[in-house]
Amino acid sequence: MRNRLVFLHGLVPVMAAVVGVAVSLMACNTHPTAVNYVGVYSDGGLFIDSLFGIVDSTERYWIDTERAGAACIMLETQQDFNGDGQTDALVTNVQACGGNAVGNAFFFVSYIGDGKFALSNVFGTNVYDEPRIETWEGMKAVVITESSFDEWTEEYETHDERYVLIDTFAVRAESPKSVTLMPTISYEEWAKIDDMEDMGEEFVLSEEDSIKYAGCDIFDDLYSDHCSWYCGGEVQGITTSSCRVDADSTFDSSHAHDFNHEKVWSPEGEGIGESLVYHFAGACPRITTVKILNGDVKSDEAWLASSRAKMIKMYVNDKPYALLALEDSRSLQCFNVGIVGFHDVKAPDWTLRFEVMDVYPGAKNKSLVISELYFDGIDVH
């Protein structure tokens, strides 16, 4: 059991008599040198009755944790999660309030100045294990083990999810769940073999050709008519912050979703801060996977020449949702993004925005290139 009184950096625990204080007890300092968090417990209580932020060891502010929909909370840990030099709190939302019907959820608390504290969105729905803190892409991340019931197997399954604090949002932090290197053959060579398979012709590839044709599942994804999320899913349109235009070619946003790896999207400038916005109907099947062909993947030479995305921030309806950390390889990279969307005819239209945060520089030019960005999901067949 956790200690009921929280001692932090030599602070004396706040007495229960101050519970209910809703205003600053002292004037606000807009440039704090230190922020700490203290929980107040009532006699015999297992959970914090009130959470306070202590600024510069003197100014104390009550934090309205009920804004996160939390009735029973515990102060899990406090660290600088967003890298701004000030301490943030990771708070456990004990959803069962001491029972065992459902696991815990979590949210961050961060100081935003002028005596105000921001609460992040709640993450995790059914977590029974303690969260773990690790470093991911140079950032502090919280790893939770989510438990869910699989209706097909009628068993509980667990999987890890990683979250970082960006501004005041808890966002998923995703590395690729799979990376498939682009094949070294051309589309024409693949199409010839694909036609032979469709006609039922038997053929045996040499060891050399087997290596050459490795990764052809990417071509199946792009050019075959096999069943996929797109049997029911549809992107209504794509908009972009900018498109590069050369003398003899354009790099329109539609090229990022035309299932043609030889046509690419490329924004103006070096690409950082540029974005693609995908538009969906409320009834659209839900998305679980984002697939990215990063860089100009037509050939090794083209891929090396131009810049590639290194980090992409994903927004759902303009709210930060996930960070996607891409490997620097000529490959198809697939990211698990949870379940996104509604699949409800009564739901409003919605968007996914992909903003480039960092790039791998090209050997010959600084223009960012993305060949394809498309999806997989559920609610189809």
Residue 224 scores a pLDDT above 70? yes
What's the pLDDT score for residue 15?
32
CA distance 108 to 378: 30
CATH class of 178-377: mainly beta
State the pLDDT confidence band at 226, using cuts at 50, 70 and 90: confident
CA distance 2 to 91: 13
pLDDT digits (tens, 9 = 90+) for 56-80: 999 999 999 999 998 899 999 999 9
Locate the domains of the chain by residue range. 16-171, 178-377
Share of the chain above pLDDT 90, in %: 71
Mean pLDDT of 203-215: 67
Give the chain as a 3 state SS string. CCCCCCCCCCCCCCCHHHCCCCCCCCCCCCCCCCEEEEEECCCCCCCECEEEEEECCCEEEEECHHHHCCCCEEEEEEECCCCCCCCEEEEEECCCCCCCCCCEEEEEEEEEECCEEEECCCEEEEECCCCEEEEECCEEEEEEEEEEEECCCCEEEEEEEEEEEECCEEEEEECCCEEEECCCCCHHHHHHHHHHHHCCCCCCCCHHHHHHCCCCHHHHHHHCCCCCHHHCCCCCEEEECCCCECCCCECCHHHHHCCCCCCCECCCCCCCCCEEEEEECCCCCCEEEEEEEEECCCCHHHHHHCEEEEEEEEEECCEEEEEEECCCCCEEEEEEEEEECCCCCCCCCEEEEEEEEEEECCCCCCCECEEEEEEEECCCC
pTM confidence score? 0.86
For residue 23, give both structure tokens. 């205003």
pLDDT digits (tens, 9 = 90+) for 294-344: 999 999 999 999 999 999 999 999 999 999 999 999 999 999 999 999 999
> Highest mean pLDDT range out of 16-25, 96-105, 149-158, 370-379?
370-379
What's the pLDDT score for residue 213?
67
Residue 22 scores a pLDDT above 80? no
Average pLDDT, the chain: 87
pLDDT digits (tens, 9 = 90+) for 76-101: 999 999 999 999 999 999 999 978 78
